[in-house]
Chain A
Amino acid sequence: MGIRQTWISGMLLALTLTGCEPPSAQFANNNRVSNLIPEAQLGITEESDGELRHYDGVIGTLDGSFGTPENLIAWMKLPIDFGQLEGTVAESPADVEIDANQFYVAFDGEQDDIITDKQLLLNSGEYEDTILGITRYDAETGLLTVNAEFEDSKPAAGDRFVIVGQVLQYGRELYMTHCLHCHGTTGDGNGPTAEYLNPRPRDFRLGLFKFTSTNATTTKGARRDDLEHVIRQGVPGTYMPSFLLLKDDELHAIVEYVRFLSMRGQYENDLVTILEGNFSEDAVKSMMEGGTERSEIIKDLLATLKEDFLLDAADKADNLARFWEAAEDESALVIPGKPRTPDTPESRARGRQLYLSAKAKCTNCHGVAGLGNGPQTFEYETDPTTNEKRPAPGLHDDWGNLVKPRNLTTGIYRGGRRPLDIYRRIRVGIKGAKMPAFGGTVLSDDEVWDLVNYVMSIPYEGKDAAPVAGRQPAEEETGHSENETETQTNNPTVTQDQVAQQSGSGEGR
């Protein structure tokens, strides 16, 4: 009896203790990965000359380049600021005895990042190209403890080393605190709180971000500035709150980590694309129906994994790096060719003409009254992945979510409310969504500014804005104060027009 009781309580204790350990974080795989046959996902192990060799499939290749959340890899091919600290091995004080896995270091500059658990690469001296894991660092004495023991000689004083990845690591920690519960560990927009949100949190894995300042013709990517702007200001009208109080280095680290997750997702898609044609479950099935042996296909896959897959993957990685570099390039930044057209009734009227015209086609989605209920929102779209009609009418974004064209009467602007922001929304479009980019050929700068003036006036149409006293009439060029004056002396035809159309559209506010 006594023994049994001890045994049970021992078990209970064990259970309690195991329950306390935090589960290790994992990157989840894209659904597309599971469309591949298991061998293409996991790779193939081949025996030749009595030796076993493993050739990675999609998952192994991806993890080999990006690592896991707890062991991130800084793949230097990618244009990410992983963080880099350089330093020199220092002389040991004569009177101090240290262990075989310790030596002294001095960093080149000021160093206050946490470097425990990071990896150190020696790049000169006897141990050149050796990678060591840092287990402890004493900032006061400069004593470094690593995960390897040096039997005979230690790295000599003067040897150079570099530590990579502390910014990425910091970004991950901050991401875990602030972003993970919506955007998910993998950045798939599927964190624990995500299912309660509408619109859904951004899934970073397509490499697409909606509110950018880059012209859509040369790149579909986003700039660091764009991501920073969204994190600082939030996205009004959605659940993305403002993180204004983050310090600059915190913000930078988060942005780099988000870009990292984004690139990981894109690369994952790329790798699947390479193998999907021949080695998806469906493809293999149809080949077998055509009389091909499965072993033949596996043989073929092995040959691919040995060479072509690696070459294609390297190509894809180059493209990926170029995709993000192109967005950072100055030439990608959209800056209006001329200053904003003064916000006059004439400009707004021209803007309204354009808004209604077949050239800009705004009404197709946003509706005549700007309520976001244009005819397109009643159409059934075709899902590009399945080629079938979507179950619900309306516009869908590249993530497959139903999105509403913006209701322009609310005065809520997700991508920012400055004239420049609205200009860019029209000029650049909303990437990944149905708002097209009206590049230089469709609309001229003047036309875009007229449209901006009109769109910014929509929320105030027909409303009696309280007058502002004490303003100098000569105060020109500040668009907002002019707005105000015009709203009262508003072009009456436009206003009545608007009211008539609204009642005609049969939808209340």
Chain B
Amino acid sequence: MKKFWCLFFIFWPIVAIIIFWISPGMNWWFPGESYSPLGAQIDDLFYLILWIVAVVFVGTQIGLGYVLWKGATSKQDDKAWYSHGSHSLEVMWTIVPAGILLFIALYQMDVWAQYRIKANFPENTLTAPIAELTARQFEWRVRYPHPDRKFKSEADVKKWLRQPHPDDLHTVNDLRVPSGKPVLIYLRTEDVQHSFFVPKLRVKQDAVPGLVIPVWFEVQNRAGENEEPELKGSSYEFLCAELCGWGHYKMKARLVAQPEKEFKTYIDELQADQNEDGVSSDDEQE
């Protein structure tokens, strides 16, 4: 009976390991391919940590199994004995995990800095924002600067962010960016805290009341999943990742990354639509 319990507790870790091992092939849980270069680096970090955790998990389970088995097979007359612990063991299992954590902390800094520290942003993105993205209960409002608007400095951009301009272009739940180059948006919220999350690009950033937060990302110049056929596979879902109220689940929108030329065409169309007077252009669209 002792051996049964011993085998029972060894069996489950083995099952767990097998399931985790086959899961990427079965398309379970794993986030899939990233469609942005920085996202690929974030994935590398994720997999590194996963490997470290996997090794620790397997090692711990083997140790546990060994102890159980040894106890189960020991002779009846072995008596329990009292231990004061082992100083060297204590030191070891404190220093080794601390070292691993320190390693992870230092190793990820580069990616973190690229993503979050303004000085490391790709060149010229801060003064050439694609759009201002405003979260509000429960939708995403997009404001593009006029395509001819050139910002001289960050202060100039701030000025634009502070107040609407007559030539701005507005859409809702539909953010378009050019693909194949780093792009930057300014994220803000009109009411409570929201979070801008594009799973396929590994982009996630909270929108905090009172702050205007620059977020940059790059969408690879390639087809994503065909969510919408007419957008030729360049459409990515983005959503709110911060429970923001009863309509939180409604905050699902679309990010479309198209090659520069198609993006330009889109902006031109948007501009024409925004100036629609019902007469000048024949095809009156909604």
**Residues of A in contact with B (beta carbons under 8 Å apart):** 178, 181, 193, 225, 228-229, 232-234, 236, 239, 241-245, 335-340, 411, 417-420, 423, 456-457, 459-460, 463, 465-466, 468-471, 477-481, 483-484, 487
Contact = CB atoms under 8 A, between A and B. Distances in A.
A468 B173 contact: no
B275 A193 contact: no
A244 B254 contact: yes
A484 B166 contact: yes
A181 B279 contact: no
B110 interface: no
B279 A460 contact: no
Nearest to B286: A229
B271 interface: yes
Contacts of A239: 137-138, 247
Given A228-B286, A411-B164, A468-B167, A339 B254 contact: no
B286 A225 contact: yes
Given A480-B167, A484-B166, A233 B172 contact: yes
A415 to B, nearest CB: 13
B280 interface: yes
Contacts of A338: 279
A228 B285 CA distance: 12
27 contacts: A193-B246, A229-B286, A233-B172, A241-B137, A241-B139, A241-B247, A242-B139, A245-B252, A335-B279, A335-B284, A339-B277, A340-B277, A340-B280, A418-B275, A418-B277, A419-B276, A420-B278, A420-B284, A466-B156, A466-B159, A466-B165, A468-B146, A468-B167, A469-B148, A469-B152, A478-B271, A483-B167
Interface residues on B, range: 35 or more
Interface in B129-146: 137-139, 141, 146
Nearest to B137: A239
A123 B275 CA distance: 51
B277 A484 contact: no
A466 B165 CA distance: 8
Contacts of B146: 468, 480-481, 484
B167 A417 contact: no
B147 to A, nearest CB: 10
Contacts of B279: 335-340
Given A233-B172, A466-B156, A477-B280, A418 B166 contact: no
Contacts of A480: 146, 166-168, 271, 274-275
B12 interface: no
A175 to B, nearest CB: 14
A244 B149 CA distance: 27
B3 interface: no
Given A239-B138, A459-B166, A478-B271, 4 more contacts: A243-B250, A244-B173, A468-B149, A478-B275
